[in-house]
Amino acid sequence: MLNCKTVATPINVNEKLQLDDGIEKADGSSFRSLVGGLIYLTLTRPDISFSVGVISRFMHRPSKHHLRAAKRILRYVIGTTGFELCDWAGNLDDRKSVSGNFFTLSSAAITWSSKKQPTIVLSFSEVEYVAAASST
C-alpha cells in the first residue's frame, strides 16, 4: 500500500455502508486485523477516528465493500496533510449522526473524541449544536 494512490478524505461521503449490503463477504480475520491496527492508529491520528468508528461497526460480518472502505483510510493516512470531520445521519441503520471534537494547546493535540449522538437530529445545524454542547 506504500505506492498506492492517495485520497483527500478518509471516507467517501457518498458511499453509505450498511450491515446487509448484498455484497460478497470479505475475510473476517484480515478485516478485523486491519481495523484493529487502524484503531491503534487513532491514538495519534484523531482525524481518522470517525472513519474507523464507522467501519468498526462491521467487525462481525464484513463485506468487500467494508474492506475497501478500510483500505481507503490507509490511503488517506499515507497522503494526509490536513483534515476535517462532519456527519449528518450517516448511519443508515439508525440514522444517528456523529459528533467529533479536537482541542489543541500550543499546536499539540491534548484531547479529541468521535462519538455517535444519542438522538436523531433533523438538520445539519442541529448536528452542529449537539456537537458543540457535547464538547464543553
Q: What is the pLDDT of residues 82-124, one digit of tens each?
A: 444 657 777 778 888 887 777 765 566 667 777 888 888 888 7
Closest C-alpha among 67, 1, 64 to residue 32? 67
Structure-model confidence comparison of residues 111 and 40, the more confident one:
40
80 pLDDT higher than 80: no
Angle (nearest 5°) at CA 88 between 117 and 19: 80
Q: Name the strand (E) or helix (H) holding 109.
A: strand 108-116
**pLDDT higher than threshold 70 for residue 81:** no
Mean pLDDT of the chain: 82
Specify burial of residue 101 (Cβ count, 10 A radius: 0-12, 13-18, 19+). middle
Binning pLDDT at 50, 70 and 90, where does residue 71 land? very high
Look at the block and give the residue holding cell 468487500: 64
In this prediction, residue 31 carries a pLDDT of 94
Domains of the chain, by residue range, sit at 7-81, 86-136
